[in-house]
Structure 1
Amino acid sequence: MTLSDWLISLEGTAKGHQVALVLALMAALLHAVFGALQKGRHDPWLSRGAIDASYGLMAAPIALFVVPWPEPHMWPIFGGVFVIHLCYKLLQAFAYSKGAYTVVYPVVRGTGPLFTVLGAYLIFGETFNAVQWIGVLVLLSGIFGLALYNFLYLESDRSTLVPALGLAIATGLFVALYTTYDAYGIRATADPFTFLAWFFFIDGLAIPPIAFMRYRRMLNPPALAPLAMRGILGAFIAFASFGSIMLATRLDKVGEAAILRETSTVFAALIGWLVLKETVGPRRIALMALIALGAVIVEFAG
């Protein structure tokens, strides 16, 4: 039995639910790391360009020569994937360029799951019970509370904060859109790894040219070697993070996977504290606990 056959055999089963839980939590941790890589040392556009170029080049031979060829009906779906993810990445890069990571990231991640749950209801017929909706509200109160706290106490340069928050909300809407659309796409093909390989191949085409043009216009561009290393590291993290959440949405409910992934905000705050040297106090710890509690309620009330 191949890995694809094994995963397909788990769809809709109790074991599949457990595997989806692990995949969604792994995606949460790795997505926070991925966001910090893009916001960290280098210009966000250059970081994203290096990452996309790396995972596009890595995925190309797998897409072209290893996995089964996509079915004809998949090509329009991949076209939608390209457009939606390009819009998401452009908005996210603009948001990171305008505001602090610890302000922008929680707003993005808080806006996304609510609209994903609604989209999962409209497209897949998924529903949450009353207790799960309480969990969603608890999680969102923690996420937006964290963003508000960071906005009030941690943001030093407020001249660009309003547009940063607007861009963060728009980015969150596209998080919901790509989460739901990718779930539709990975369910539309017989082999989930066909979708994943072609997703990374196609998704790696757009941002690198933009990043290259930005690099050429810089008066003091960064050294290429560290940027390339960040790109390669980010590519492996992207494979594990985005790949995990897409597989989770094929194995189990899209809405639950999206909610669990938003515990990434907790990991992001820890990264901001430990790596980016941003302040974390008891109030932020309490808000992060609310996020985790909300995710637990959604999971165990289902």
Structure 2
Amino acid sequence: MAELIYAIEGTEAGTRAALILALSSAFLHALFGALQKGRHDPWLSRGAIDSWLFVLSAPIALFAVPWPQGAEWVLIFGALGIHFCYKVGMALAYTRGAYTVVYPVVRGTGPLFTVIGAYLIFGETFTGMQWLGVGILLAGIFGLAAYNLATITVARDTLVPALWLAVGTGALVAVYTTWDAYGVRATPNPFTFLAWFFFITAIDFPIIAALRWRRAPVPLPPLALRGFFGALIAYGSFGSVILATRLDKVGEAAVLRETSTVFAALIGWLILGETVGPRRAALMALIALGAVVVEFGG
């Protein structure tokens, strides 16, 4: 599999593969967010997901891929710290705000900072048309968040702190996207970084969740089942976008992934029972239009 990545990176085929990976990641990440925000405490849900990620990733990291060497360990343990802060931010925001308000703000803040980081670190540049696409996408995302904020009736007393947490967490999305992109590019075998990324970054939240569960126990079988499916989705979501950043521009992958907001609105409507309506549908179409302009405006 690594040989295929080596063969297509930097080629037109690699660009097409990165597009597919980024859009796949968008859908899966929206599903992942809904799982964490679902009927269980977000801290417990994330702990259950990470427990399965740790168990499933251990044999792959330890026996199936080459071990990291030298500075690669710094990149992997750096990812642990960054993703821990991100996961705490998401859990705090989800505890205080509705999914369809929090999620768009997190995902809308992330790509703008990521594009700037990709320019500073990787020397990537966007055309004027692509910047227009970024503007359209962000207008749709923040418009969706503003509309949800104006109409939502659940947990309104905690929405303002939830939004501030969402903005801060969005900045962490940019940090981890840039860091992970650097890590997967600096590691000769991309699957070494991926396997150890999932293994190492999953060691923290199971401990937090276990302590939280002891104070307020809930039935374990449904929580464990949610965690198992969440882990499988996480492999597809985070793994896809990390590979996309190796195959093509980091900024483009980050922007395309934020079409997850469209999928999130649909999931919120179909699964969580949150209404969509014509205004939300129009804003979702604006997000999709922005992503198309970014992709084809280069």
What TM bracket, shorter-length normalisation? over 0.9
Shift of 1:155: 3.5
Kept after mapping to 2: 8 A contact 1:100/1:155: no
The aligned counterpart of 2:292 is: 296
Q: Are positions 1:243 and 2:239 aligned together? A: yes
Secondary structure in 2 matching 1:128: coil
Secondary structure in 1 matching 2:121: helix
Kept after mapping to 2: 8 A contact 1:138/1:291: yes
Structure 1 residue runs of 5 or longer lacking an equivalent are none
* Pick aligned residue for 2:140 from 134, 139, 142: 142
Structure 1 distance, partners of 2:52, 2:153, is: 32
Structure 2 distance, partners of 1:172, 1:144, is: 12
The aligned counterpart of 1:275 is: 271
Q: Deviations over 1:247-301 (max 9, x none)?
A: 0000000000000000000000000000000011000000000000000000001
Q: What letter corresponds to residue 17 of structure 1 in structure 2?
A: T
The aligned counterpart of 1:78 is: 76
Q: What letter corresponds to residue 161 of structure 1 in structure 2?
A: L
The aligned counterpart of 1:230 is: 226
Q: What letter corresponds to residue 237 of structure 1 in structure 2?
A: I
Q: Deviations over 1:74-101 (max 9, x none)?
A: 1111121010000000011000000000
The aligned counterpart of 2:9 is: 11
Structure 2 distance, partners of 1:88, 1:157, is: 22
Kept after mapping to 2: 8 A contact 1:146/1:284: yes
Q: Are positions 1:202 and 2:200 aligned together? A: yes
Kept after mapping to 1: 8 A contact 2:96/2:155: no
Secondary structure in 1 matching 2:65: coil
Map 1:81-92; keep pairs closer than 5 Å. 81-92=79-90
Structure 2 distance, partners of 1:299, 1:254, is: 12
Q: What letter corresponds to residue 234 of structure 2 in structure 1?
A: A
Q: Deviations over 1:198-224 (max 9, x none)?
A: 000001100110000000011xx2210
Shift of 1:104: 0.2
Aligned residue pairs total 298
Identity of aligned residues (%): 67
Structure 2 distance, partners of 1:10, 1:252, is: 10
Map 1:123-162; keep pairs closer than 5 Å. 123-162=121-160
Structure 2 distance, partners of 1:277, 1:137, is: 30
> CA RMSD of the aligned region, Å?
0.6
Q: What letter corresponds to residue 72 of structure 1 in structure 2?
A: G
Structure 2 distance, partners of 1:59, 1:156, is: 37
* Pick aligned residue for 1:187 from 185, 188, 192: 185
Kept after mapping to 1: 8 A contact 2:79/2:179: yes
Which is further off, 137-146 or 69-78?
69-78
Which is further off, 144-153 or 65-74?
65-74
Kept after mapping to 2: 8 A contact 1:259/1:295: yes
Structure 1 distance, partners of 2:190, 2:39, is: 34
Q: What letter corresponds to residue 75 of structure 2 in structure 1?
A: I
Structure 2 distance, partners of 1:178, 1:155, is: 32
Q: What letter corresponds to residue 194 of structure 2 in structure 1?
A: L
Structure 1 distance, partners of 2:154, 2:6, is: 49
Structure 1 distance, partners of 2:14, 2:127, is: 20
Structure 2 residue runs of 5 or longer lacking an equivalent are none
* Pick aligned residue for 1:255 from 241, 245, 251: 251
Q: What letter corresponds to residue 81 of structure 1 in structure 2?
A: A
* Pick aligned residue for 1:107 from 105, 108, 111: 105
Shift of 1:113: 0.3
Q: Are positions 1:284 and 2:280 aligned together? A: yes
Shift of 1:69: 1.3
Shift of 1:56: 1.1
Structure 2 distance, partners of 1:97, 1:74, is: 35
Structure 2 distance, partners of 1:50, 1:27, is: 21
